[in-house]
């Protein structure tokens, strides 16, 4: 039982074989655990501007437009951007962003300028 107690309290001297085993276990956990185990995916802030070839593009968090019908999303995105930046933005189109499991992770709103 004292070995488990020393392991939990990290009570081994540095450069001892026990210390090296503990470090190896931790590194194996970090690098060998699949990302899907913890659903580790990037999270967008509420609204952020992203690079675009034409005009401006904004990444919107899914909760901002998820309950809005498709036909009204462009108008709602314009309203959200106007409230956030204080100037009118003409949104040309809004596209959903889906992950590899086809789950919604956000929206991209493209503007004309």
Read off the pTM.
0.56
Mean pLDDT of 86-108: 89
In this structure, of 2-11, 27-36, 62-71, the range with the lowest mean pLDDT score is 2-11
pLDDT in tens, 34-82: 877 877 666 545 888 888 887 789 999 888 888 889 889 999 999 998 8
Q: Where are the beta strands (DSSP E) in 1-113?
A: 47-50, 57-60, 91-98, 104-111
| Residue 103: strand pairing partners | none
In this structure, of 9-18, 44-53, 92-101, the range with the lowest mean pLDDT score is 44-53
End-to-end CA distance of the chain: 67
Q: What is the distance, to the nearest Å, from the Cα of residue 55 to the centroid of all Cα atoms in its chain?
A: 24
How many whole angstroms separate alpha carbon 84 and alpha carbon 95? 19
pLDDT at 29: 94
Phi, psi of 78 (to 5 degrees): -60, -45
Q: Where are the alpha helices (DSSP H) in 9-112?
A: 17-32, 62-65, 73-85
Phi, psi of 16 (to 5 degrees): -85, 165
């Amino acid at each position: 039982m004292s070995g488990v107690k020393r392991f939990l309290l990290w009570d081994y001297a540095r450069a001892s074989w026990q210390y090296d085993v503990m470090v190896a276990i931790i590194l194996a956990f970090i690098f060998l655990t699949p990302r899907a185990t913890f659903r580790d995916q990037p999270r967008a802030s509420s609204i952020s501007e992203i690079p675009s070839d034409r005009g401006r593009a904004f990444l919107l968090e899914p909760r901002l437009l998820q309950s809005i019908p498709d036909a009204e999303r462009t108008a709602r995105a314009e309203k959200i951007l106007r409230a956030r930046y204080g100037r009118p933005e003409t949104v040309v189109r809004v596209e959903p962003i889906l992950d590899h499991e086809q789950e919604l992770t956000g929206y991209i709103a493209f503007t004309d300028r």
